[in-house]
Amino acid sequence: MASTAGKVIKCRAAVAWEAGKPLVIQEVEVAPPQALEVRLKILYTSLCHTDVYFWEAKGQTPVFPRILGHEAAGIVESVGEGVTELAPGDHVLPVFTGECKECAHCKSEESNMCELLRINPDRKVMIGDGQARFSVNGQPIYHFLGTSTFSEYTVVHSGCVAKINPEAPLDKVCVLSCGFCTGFGATVNVAKPKKGSTVAIFGLGAVGLAAAEGARVAGASRIIGVDLNSNRFETAKKFGCTEFVNPLEHTKPVQEVLAEMTNGGVDRAVECTGNINAMIQALESVHDGWGVAVLVGVPHKDAEFKTHPIHFLNEKTLKGTFYGHYKPRTDLPVVVEQYLKGELELEKFITHSVPFSEINKAFELMLAGQGLRCIIHMDG
Ligand code: NAD
Ligand code: ZN
């Protein structure tokens, strides 16, 4: 056990005190892990658009002060009572949704929606005792998605931690803990395009490009990237996109543009924007008879999906998924092995890196629509 085990750790964290205001890097106190929890030393974290939504708190419930961050990699510092599958020194990826391995969902092959640990963005404390493990001068600082990785140390439920091969480079595999698996899994595990099919990807950020990568690996013959930002198109070619549509450059609705390009509709559509219009367009763009649309983007809290039911009578299917239908503890170590064998190219998702002291730059890049993933080095 580390000499810090059982003690409060003082370390740097990036605290979001107010909606939309730059994060403040400051010293926080991190309490020791309680029963079934682990305390992690975070080495690398990156920014996903979901962090930005909750920081802006325009379309989501505001919870402040809070430590954001959920895409990360680190090492177990100490474990709480009852933790048997993790030990100090283990290399791990924390995940925003968990796997208790005991509930009906975890026991079902069909679900990754663990009853106990499924994603809950409004939860701001640990489930064990309803308390926060972070504080500043005795004031609690709230958790985010059960991970709060914008801190040198964080406390996470052991069911939300995947133990991975220690040979994996943590500065690369950290993108597996959200963005890559979310997009890639949405295509290969949920949309399941057949070889030779046509797939539309709405939103070409890191999640959408991982979805495109999934379509490429599945053998899709045409991958049509749809984005309002045409600057995304050049990069998207490296991820297998063969054609592009910017809805702003057409007078017709994008559904009609896609129908004309594909003789009636795409076989699969994967939505990775978080925009409700794109979600509706994704469903309406798929071919009748067999088309499947999969929603991945996190919607505005008041969003409503409106479409004519005839789409369903015409045998189009609408699905959605968290974390690409992967069970974090069972499946993530396998995905890491796939990367180590050279089957997945994670490097091309990483376009920027900044030291932790400059974490606000990562937010600026995402808000400007620049780059895919910015890796934040916690030692800097
Ligand atoms: P990103 O900002 O890097 O990329 C989003 C892209 O969508 C941008 O290029 C933007 O121009 C484009 N876009 C926005 N509105 C559009 C519209 N109406 N039509 C076409 N394109 C549009 O974000 P990201 O990090 O890649 O995340 C993508 C989405 O996935 C976000 O909503 C994020 O919250 C969500 N997400 C979901 C899960 C999950 O498990 N379901 C996990 C992680 C992220
Ligand atoms: Zn469970």
- What DSSP assignment string belongs to 33-58? P-TTEEEEEEEEEE--HHHHHHHHTS
Q: Is 174 a catalytic residue?
A: no
DSSP 142: B
Q: Is 71 a catalytic residue?
A: yes
Tell me which ligand sits closest to the C-alpha of residue 108.
Answer: 2
Establish whether residue 98 lines the binding site of ligand 1, counting it when its CB lies within 6 angstroms of any ligand atom. Answer: no
Report how far ligand 2's centroid is from the alpha carbon of 105 (Å).
6
Please give the sequence-ordered ranges of beta strands (E in DSSP) within the chain, or none if there are none: 9-15, 24-30, 37-46, 71-79, 91-94, 134-136, 139-141, 153-157, 161-163, 198-202, 222-226, 243-245, 268-271, 292-295, 317-320, 350-355, 373-377
Q: Is 48 a catalytic residue?
A: yes
- Residue with the smallest CA separation from ligand 1 atom 29 is 297
In contact, 59 and 180? CB cutoff 8 Å: no
Q: What is the pLDDT of residue 57?
A: 95
Establish whether residue 266 lines the binding site of ligand 1, counting it when its CB lies within 6 angstroms of any ligand atom. Answer: no
Report how far ligand 2's centroid is from the alpha carbon of 345 (Å).
30
Instruction: Return the ligand 1 atom nearest residue 254 CA.
Output: 19
CA-angle at 257, arms to 255 and 259, nearest 5°: 65
Q: In this predicted model, what pLDDT tens digit does every residue of 35-53 receive, in sequence order?
A: 999 999 999 999 999 999 9
The catalytic residue among 91, 105, 106, 311 is 106
Q: Is 222 a catalytic residue?
A: no
In angstroms, the CA 61 to CA 196 distance is: 42
Helix or strand (DSSP H, E) at 107: helix 104-107
Q: Ligand 1 test: best mutation among 51, 207, 323, most atoms within 8 Å of CB?
A: 207
Which residues fall within 8 angstroms of residue 350, CB to CB, at 6 or more apart? 46, 172, 175, 372, 373, 375
Q: In this predicted model, what pLDDT tens digit does every residue of 342-368 receive, in sequence order?
A: 999 999 999 999 999 999 999 999 999
Q: Please name the amino acid found at residue 222.
A: R
**CA 53 centroid distance within chain:** 12
Report how far ligand 2's centroid is from the alpha carbon of 276 (Å).
29
264 — alpha (psi -120 to 50), left (phi > 0) or beta? left
Q: Count other C-beta atoms under 10 Å from residue 230's C-beta.
A: 13
Do you find a cis peptide bond into 121, omega within 30 degrees of 0? no
Establish whether residue 359 lines the binding site of ligand 1, counting it when its CB lies within 6 angstroms of any ligand atom. Answer: no
Q: Is 102 a catalytic residue?
A: no
- Residue with the smallest CA separation from ligand 1 atom 6 is 203
Q: Is 181 a catalytic residue?
A: no
Q: Is 187 a catalytic residue?
A: no
Q: What is the pLDDT of residue 14?
A: 98
In angstroms, the CA 270 to CA 281 distance is: 10
Instruction: Return the ligand 1 atom nearest residue 232 CA.
Output: 9
Instruction: Return the ligand 1 atom nearest residue 274 CA.
Output: 32
Q: Ligand 1 test: best mutation among 233, 298, 370, most atoms within 8 Å of CB?
A: 298
Q: Is 114 a catalytic residue?
A: yes
- Residue with the smallest CA separation from ligand 1 atom 35 is 297
Establish whether residue 362 lines the binding site of ligand 1, counting it when its CB lies within 6 angstroms of any ligand atom. Answer: no
pTM above 0.75, yes or no: yes
Q: Is 160 a catalytic residue?
A: no
Report how far ligand 2's centroid is from the alpha carbon of 117 (Å).
6
Distances (CA, A) of 71 to 92, 143, 230, 260, 303: 12, 14, 26, 38, 25
The catalytic residue among 4, 37, 39, 50 is 50
In angstroms, the CA 291 to CA 272 distance is: 17
Q: Count other C-beta atoms under 10 Å from residue 32's C-beta.
A: 18
The catalytic residue among 4, 45, 49, 232 is 49
Q: What is the pLDDT of residue 1?
A: 54
Reading the chain (380 residues) residue by residue, the pLDDT tens digits are 568 999 999 999 999 999 999 999 999 999 999 999 999 999 999 999 999 999 999 999 999 999 999 999 999 999 999 999 999 999 999 999 999 999 999 999 999 999 999 999 999 999 999 999 999 999 999 999 999 999 999 999 999 999 999 999 999 999 999 999 999 999 999 999 999 999 999 999 999 999 999 999 999 999 999 999 999 999 999 999 999 999 999 999 999 999 999 999 999 999 999 999 999 999 999 999 999 999 999 999 999 999 999 999 999 999 999 999 999 999 999 999 999 999 999 999 999 999 999 999 999 999 999 999 999 999 99
Give the side-chain half-sphere CA count within 13 A for 207. 29
**DSSP-H helix ranges across 132-274:** 170-173, 179-185, 206-217, 232-237, 254-262
Q: Which residues pair with 374 in a beta bridge?
A: 352
Q: Is 49 a catalytic residue?
A: yes
Establish whether residue 269 lines the binding site of ligand 1, counting it when its CB lies within 6 angstroms of any ligand atom. Answer: no
